[in-house]
Amino acid sequence: MNALASLMQTAYKQSFPEASRLILAGWRALETHKAHMSIFFKKVIIITGASEGIGRALALALAPQQPKLILAARNEQRLLTLAAECEQVGATSCVLPTDVTDEQACQRLIQQTIETFGALDVLVNNAGISMRATLEEVSDLSIFDHIMKVNYLSGVYCTKYALPHLKQSKGRVVAVASVAGLTGVPTRTGYCASKHAMMGFFESLRMELEDAGVSITIIAPDFVVSKIHERSFDARGQRVGESPANQHTYQTSESCAVMILNAMEKRQRLLVTSWRGYWGRLVRIVLPKLIDGIAKKAVKEEKSITE
Ligand SMILES: NC(=O)c1ccc[n+]([C@@H]2O[C@H](COP(=O)([O-])OP(=O)(O)OC[C@H]3O[C@@H](n4cnc5c(N)ncnc54)[C@H](OP(=O)(O)O)[C@@H]3O)[C@@H](O)[C@H]2O)c1
């Protein structure tokens, strides 16, 4: 819309000012009408892990529907920049810096959402971190606690405190897990365990909430371009600091966000973003070794640039 609008402005402004004004007004009316008809128009949506990658891209994908976005993560500056970008395309937004490993902080996130917007329609549990080391190599076992807290327990905390409000709005919970929640992956023992925990938790919760009209959509992305890879813990609990060499073969955060948005709209049960992930979980039942081989190969291919 912005590109087209500026193109029209340049082309017509001087020669046909009146025609240009009318076309632009018509276009804007159409966009506003589209937003008003959309599923998330004026809906209150919390996204955890909104400062980077998939969470950020999802906020931007949602913004043209003019929702009320609550953007949560630790990096306030990045959230403020994102909020401004979302507002430019129609969203209302509120930045709530939150460390999701802290139960009280998650409770405050929900309370402040209700104080600010008076309701909650969608909770997207997206914050996450990863690791890149075999169990044998790991010297700092605290990374297992930390990964479990960020990836799994944060979802438990936020969802628990959000529940009464989601029941009132017959809302949606979105859990951004991973294909690593459907299979094992070498060098990711702690990460896989946290994503399997998410799967079990949200699959069970779906049944508990069925009669209350609250839907649970589990997202299982395959590899996506984002900072998660270089921010992963190494064996000593330090950041890896390098992106995988084959990151150009990964899905972009933007395209993953469009798929998530589509699944959210449909209240889909499970979205697996790649064909190998989709078929892998079925083939694994009869040919588990084949899937182990595919997972091992995927990890080999991601060797960092300096390796
Ligand atoms: N990228 C992939 O290949 C991939 C594949 C499958 C699944 N996923 C999942 O997708 C989700 C998003 O990952 P991404 O790839 O977008 O990663 P990312 O770019 O590194 O973003 C992770 C987000 O989580 C936030 N976060 C981390 N620790 C936090 C904490 N303690 N409290 C609050 N927020 C925290 C980060 O913000 P701050 O640092 O500002 O707090 C950031 O906004 C994760 O759950 C990940 O497991 C990713």
Determine whether the shortest distance from the Cβ of 280 to ligand 1 is under 6 A. Answer: no
Specify the pLDDT at position 36: 76
> Tokens in use for 253?
């955060």
User: 3.40.50.620, 3.40.50.720, 3.40.640.10, 3.30.2080.10: which CATH number matches 38-301?
Assistant: 3.40.50.720
Atom of ligand 1 nearest to the CA of 149: 31
Determine whether the shortest distance from the Cβ of 190 to ligand 1 is under 6 A. Answer: no
| CA–CA gap between residue 77 and residue 101 (Å, rounded) | 20
Sign for the CA dihedral angle at 25, 26, 27, 30 comes to positive
Question: What letter represents residue 154's amino acid?
Answer: S
Which is nearest to 304 in space by CA: 141, 187, 168, 179?
187
Cα 105 to Cα 35, 162, 292, 296, distances in angstroms: 32, 13, 38, 37
Q: Which helix (H) or strand (E) holds 202?
A: helix 189-209
Determine whether the shortest distance from the Cβ of 74 to ligand 1 is under 6 A. Answer: yes
152, 161, 191, 250: the active-site residue: 191
**Cβ atoms of 40 and 69 closer than 8 Å:** no
Atom of ligand 1 nearest to the CA of 127: 24
Low-confidence ranges of the chain (pLDDT < 70): 1-9, 11-13, 304-307
pLDDT in tens, 61-112: 999 999 999 999 999 999 999 999 999 999 999 999 999 999 999 999 999 9
| CA–CA gap between residue 258 and residue 60 (Å, rounded) | 10
Contacts of 149 (CB under 8 A, 6+ apart): 100, 101
Distance (angstroms) between ligand 1 centre and the Cα of 190 equals: 15
| CA–CA gap between residue 191 and residue 132 (Å, rounded) | 9
Could you identify the residue written with the tokens 């460390």?
99
First to last CA, the chain: 44
Tell me the best of 70, 129, 148 to mutate to test the pocket of ligand 1, counting ligand atoms within 8 Å of each CB and taking the most: 129
Task: Confirm whether 152 is a catalytic residue.
Answer: no
**Cβ atoms of 159 and 126 closer than 8 Å:** no
| CA–CA gap between residue 105 and residue 98 (Å, rounded) | 6
Determine whether the shortest distance from the Cβ of 281 to ligand 1 is under 6 A. Answer: no
Determine whether the shortest distance from the Cβ of 194 to ligand 1 is under 6 A. Answer: no
Ramachandran sector of residue 53 (left: φ over 0; alpha: ψ -120 to 50; beta: rest): left
